[in-house]
Amino acid sequence: MANSSGSGSSDFDALARQYWGMWGDAMRGAAPKSAAEVGMQGFQDAIKSWTGQASGSGHGFDNVLGHFGRQNGDWFAQMQQVAAQFAGRDNSAQDIANAWKQALGGAGANPFESLLGGMRGPGLEGFEQWSEAAKPYLQGMHAETTGTLNTPTFGFTREHQERLQVLAQAQLDFQDTMSAYNGLMGDVSKAAYSRFESKLAEREEPGRQISSARALFDLWIDAAEEAFAESALSPEYRKVYGAMVNAQMRLRSGVQGMAEQAASTMGMPGRTEIDSAHRKMAELERQLRRMQRNQEKEAQQQPVRTAAKPVASEKTPAAPKRAAKPKPAPKPASKSAKKAVKSASRPAAKKALKKTAEKSAKKTLTPATRKPTKPASRKR
Amino acid sequence: MNGPINISPMELAEEMSKMQRKLAAGIGTLRNMDDVHFGVTTREEVWRDGKVVLYRYRGAKTPTAKVPLLISYALVNRPYMVDLQEDRSMVKGLLEHGQDVYIIDWGYPDRSDRFLTMEDYIERFIGGAIDYLRKTHGLDAVNLLGICQGGVFSLCYAALNPGKVKNLITMVTPVDFHTSDNMLSNWNREIDVDLLVDTLGNIPADMMNLTYLMLKPWRLFSQKYVGMVDILDDKKAMEDFLRMEKWIFDSPDQAGEAFREFNTQFFQKNGFVNGGVKVGDADVHLRLVEMPILNIFAEQDHLVPPDASRALRDLAGTDDYTELSFKGGHIGIYVSSRAKQVPETIHDWLGKRSR
């Protein structure tokens, strides 16, 4: 088998030659095995070998391989097998559609469930992935609560028991909603097979016939996407999908609550505490900005007032002077503002915040009070 | 042969053999490829507020436009899509026409940004950037180009600050979120957004990516990679492919509170159409958007259906409304061969309104 550290593509070449050689021979009727017998394993081995050779080449291609290698080769390889069954002989739309269905697992096959369940890899997070990641924890919880879901809780651990019961129920609910979603995808799969057969029937006349495995694969993609779109735009999908997402969020929320509880027992901060701190910071920052804006507005009105009262303007000669100094790009989140936010948790924070805010407001305010100048590039 | 399939065994064997050759050649292609870069135009940071940065693009020639053009991109992907590569850059096209182009880069929100609201994004960040431009250019108002979700933000900003936006361009911007062909909206309607945000905090980028791929699961997660085999022996095509892949999966997490507000007000309540959109304490009414509007949408857009964008015509308060219906998809509008018409149209439209 190939490895990524190999100097060339010889491993892949050898494996691929072997696979496609057998495949070609089977097609030509020169080999004892049929194309179907050459089978998926050979193709998968060849693709696996190629993936190994191609990985580590940089340019972000490893991420692409993460998606490519997951299952895409398989779908196409299976379609190749189907095409091989009908190459060189009469066929019908129904036969091909049935063969495709068989290739994917028979009457109950649910390719949508397989595809969506397999949509993972770099940059992707599906709902099943989280469930798998949380599985060990959930299994432990499940063992603890089996058979006691609806029994009354008592004793000094009753709150803990209650939380476990809620969590176990949430897990069951999520499984139910996931089953409902997969059931809907089963319906979509059936609709996709049906559309595939109809599309095949449209290509029976000479001139419109399918002349490659790839074209057959693309036809399936069209059928599958149309069937999915019809469902995905329906009120039923909205309901089933929404229920699944909501159920998982309830489950996640329960798990997080348990984790926080455990963290709290050990004196560690949890999400709630950290969120609370972030919320305070965001609110303080917002208040600070409001104050700055108000001061800016006041300052903009000030020249009018000073013009009306020349005596008053003499009292504040520094302000216009400072205002005339051009400043670089204003940074509303100035150091002093950040300081104010930091210090807000200390006693007398309000006072400090007000003072610092006023100070920093003047800083950001100054460019606004002068008449804006055009940049050099505009003087043409 | 009778039936839908008309392939000889030899033809099928040759097809397989061709695939093998492509795969084999691909290893060589990948080993000889240069690093994949994106964002081709020189830009300089001119203003910053936290993680949000305002960049000014520098083209080969000095801008001739008197009013700067600020691009506000969506939060859900990185804004370098508008300047992806040398031969696919809307920014480059705008600069070549003499526009003075700026862009807001929202950055990558982390947990400390969870409580950023729509008001922060609209009044603080877009507003801050616009105030900076007004100040440095000595203007009362600047031109604003909002893309997708950034277009929604731009509409809100323009409605709340009409005196600061001279001309408004919206690109692939949803306005009516409840058109019957809006899959994303359909999926959002039954989701308990409060529970989602309270549970997740920020919305993970990987979850957003999955949602977008699920809109066309077979095409985007299967057919695309099978199709990639066809170009494995083409270095340039592979570079383009990888660049696009990088962009697709280079998604920031979404600040939880802003996500909550956006989803509730738009995806669920269809606020622009039904009313009730609020940014902070302020009510947003599209009737107050009275400046000239150029509304650009894509005819094959699976994320923002054209009708979702067209709704702006009847809802905006402007008497000067223009539409450009682009033959392509949500991404093709920047990177397809036809995309060159977009900067040209924007420039011409702005030109007529600069006098």
| ipTM, interface predicted TM-score of the complex | 0.93
Minimal Cβ distance to B30: which of A61, A84, A374: A61
- pLDDT of A366 reads 31
Q: Quick one: pLDDT band at residue A1, thresholds 50, 70, 90?
A: very low
From chain B, the residues in CB contact with A54 under 8 A are 26-27, 30
Both tokens of A157, joined, read 């651990």
B215, with CB counted inside 10 A (0-12, 13-18, 19+), is: middle
- Residue showing tokens 């080993």: B31
The mean-pLDDT minimum among A113-122, B296-305, B317-326 falls in: A113-122
Domain ranges, residue B201: 42-352
- Packing angle of the helix pair A73-86, A10-28 (nearest 10 deg): 20
CA-based nearest residue in chain B for residue A72: B222
Q: Cβ of A330 and B132 within 8 Å?
A: yes
> How far apart (Å, rounded) are the C-alpha atoms in residues A79 and A102?
11
Minimal Cβ distance to B3: which of A23, A90, A368: A90
Average pLDDT rounded to a whole number, residues A230-254: 96
* Partner B contacted by A146 (CB < 8 A): no
The mean-pLDDT minimum among A29-43, B35-49, B125-139 falls in: A29-43
Q: Which residues pair with B294 in a beta bridge?
A: B169, B322
Q: Cβ of B214 and A20 within 8 Å?
A: no
- pLDDT of B62 reads 94
Most confidently predicted of A113-117, B308-312, B327-331: B308-312
Q: Cβ of B20 and A20 within 8 Å?
A: yes
Average pLDDT rounded to a whole number, residues B95-124: 96
The mean-pLDDT minimum among A49-58, A303-312, B125-134, B301-310 falls in: A303-312
Minimal Cβ distance to B13: which of A23, A92, A233: A23
Q: Is residue B57 part of a domain?
A: yes
Both tokens of A112, joined, read 């949508």
Q: Quick one: pLDDT band at residue B355, thresholds 50, 70, 90?
A: low
3-state secondary structure of A122: coil
> How far apart (Å, rounded) are the C-alpha atoms in residues B43 and A166?
53
Average pLDDT rounded to a whole number, residues B163-186: 97
Average pLDDT rounded to a whole number, residues B282-309: 96
Q: Is residue B215 part of a domain?
A: yes
> How far apart (Å, rounded) are the C-alpha atoms in residues A367 and A326?
6
> How far apart (Å, rounded) are the C-alpha atoms in residues A246 and A261?
22
Q: Cβ of B190 and A216 within 8 Å?
A: no
**Global pTM value:** 0.81
CA distances from A222 to A74, A198, A281 (A): 18, 12, 50
Within the 2-21 window of chain A, which residues sit less than 8 Å (CB to CB) from chain B? 8-9, 12-13, 16-17, 20
Average pLDDT rounded to a whole number, residues B125-129: 97
Q: Which residue has the higher pLDDT, B247 or B192?
A: B192
3-state secondary structure of A107: coil
Q: Is residue B47 part of a domain?
A: yes
Q: Is residue B27 part of a domain?
A: no
What is the domain-level CATH number for residue B114?
A: 3.40.50.1820
Size of interface A-B (CB pairs under 8 A): 295
Please give the backbone phi and psi of residue B324, each rounded to the nearest 5 degrees, phi first.
-125, 115
Q: Quick one: pLDDT band at residue B39, thresholds 50, 70, 90?
A: confident
Could you tell me the sign of the dihedral formed by the alpha carbons of B194, B196, B200, B203, in that order? negative
Q: Which residue has the higher pLDDT, A54 or A323?
A: A54
Non-local CB neighbours of B257 within 8 Å, separated by 6+ positions: B114, B115, B116, B117, B197
- Residue showing tokens 């019809």: A230
- pLDDT of A221 reads 97
- pLDDT of B216 reads 94
Q: Cβ of B218 and A76 within 8 Å?
A: no
- pLDDT of A351 reads 45
Helices (H), B201-319: 205-214, 217-218, 224-228, 235-249, 256-262, 271-274, 306-310, 312-315
Percent of residues, chain A, with pLDDT higher than 70: 57
Residues of B annotated as catalytic (active site), given as ranges: 148
> In the predicted model, is pLDDT for residue B298 greater than 70?
yes
Both tokens of B145, joined, read 């180009």
> In the predicted model, is pLDDT for residue A56 greater than 50?
yes
Both tokens of A305, joined, read 């007032």
The mean-pLDDT minimum among A297-311, A315-329, B65-79, B104-118 falls in: A315-329
> In the predicted model, is pLDDT for residue B158 greater than 90?
yes
Share the mean pLDDT of chain A: 72
Average pLDDT rounded to a whole number, residues A224-240: 97
Q: Is residue B337 part of a domain?
A: yes
Within the 289-348 window of chain A, which residues sit less than 8 Å (CB to CB) from chain B? 289, 329-333
Q: Quick one: pLDDT band at residue A142, thresholds 50, 70, 90?
A: low
The mean-pLDDT minimum among A20-29, A236-245, A274-283, B52-61 falls in: A20-29
From chain A, the residues in CB contact with B119 under 8 A are 286
Within the 153-182 window of chain A, which residues sit less than 8 Å (CB to CB) from chain B? none
Most confidently predicted of A166-170, A305-309, B276-280: B276-280
Cα A337 to chain centroid distance, Å, stands at 35
From chain B, the residues in CB contact with A229 under 8 A are 183
Q: Is residue B30 part of a domain?
A: no
Q: Is residue B329 part of a domain?
A: yes
> In the predicted model, is pLDDT for residue B282 greater than 80?
yes
* Contact by Cβ (8 Å): A115, A138: no
Q: Cβ of B225 and A27 within 8 Å?
A: no
Minimal Cβ distance to B48: which of A90, A214, A331: A331
Both tokens of B351, joined, read 């030109």
> In the predicted model, is pLDDT for residue B208 greater than 50?
yes
Average pLDDT rounded to a whole number, residues A256-285: 91
Q: Which residue has the higher pLDDT, A304 or B128?
A: B128
The mean-pLDDT minimum among B191-200, B274-283, B334-343 falls in: B334-343
> In the predicted model, is pLDDT for residue B222 greater than 80?
yes
From chain B, the residues in CB contact with A20 under 8 A are 13, 16-17, 20
Task: Please tell me the total count of domains within chain B.
Answer: 1
> In the predicted model, is pLDDT for residue B335 greater than 80?
yes
Helices (H), chain B: 9-31, 90-96, 118-119, 127-137, 149-160, 183-188, 193-200, 205-214, 217-218, 224-228, 235-249, 256-262, 271-274, 306-310, 312-315, 332-335, 341-352
> How far apart (Å, rounded) are the C-alpha atoms in residues A115 and A221?
12
Amino acid at B257: E
Average pLDDT rounded to a whole number, residues B256-260: 98
Please list, residue by residue across A148-160, b when 16 or more beta carbons sit within 10 angstroms of its beta carbon and e when fewer do. eeeeeeeeeeeee
Q: Quick one: pLDDT band at residue A119, thresholds 50, 70, 90?
A: confident
Q: Which residues pair with B88 in a beta bridge?
A: B85
Q: Measuring CA to CA, which residue among B155, B97, B117 is closest to residue B344?
A: B97
> In the predicted model, is pLDDT for residue A126 greater than 60?
yes
- pLDDT of A127 reads 66
A238 CA: distance to closest CA in chain B (Å): 5
Query: What is the helix (H) or strand (E) element at residue B171, kind and residue range?
Result: strand B165-171
- pLDDT of B42 reads 95
Q: Cβ of B189 and A80 within 8 Å?
A: no
From chain B, the residues in CB contact with A379 under 8 A are none
Q: Which residue has the higher pLDDT, A110 or A352?
A: A110
* Contact by Cβ (8 Å): B94, B49: no
> How far apart (Å, rounded) are the C-alpha atoms in residues A39 and A22?
10
Query: What is the helix (H) or strand (E) element at residue A308, kind and residue range?
Result: helix A271-308
Q: Quick one: pLDDT band at residue A43, thresholds 50, 70, 90?
A: low
Query: What is the helix (H) or strand (E) element at residue B49, kind and residue range?
Result: strand B42-49
Q: Cβ of A238 and B226 within 8 Å?
A: no
> How far apart (Å, rounded) are the C-alpha atoms in residues A182 and A186?
6
> How far apart (Å, rounded) are the C-alpha atoms in residues A86 and A211?
11
The mean-pLDDT minimum among B19-28, B264-273, B296-305 falls in: B19-28
Q: Which residue has the higher pLDDT, A137 or B5?
A: B5
> How far apart (Å, rounded) are the C-alpha atoms in residues A26 and A30?
6
From chain B, the residues in CB contact with A216 under 8 A are 5
Q: Is residue B23 part of a domain?
A: no
- pLDDT of A159 reads 76
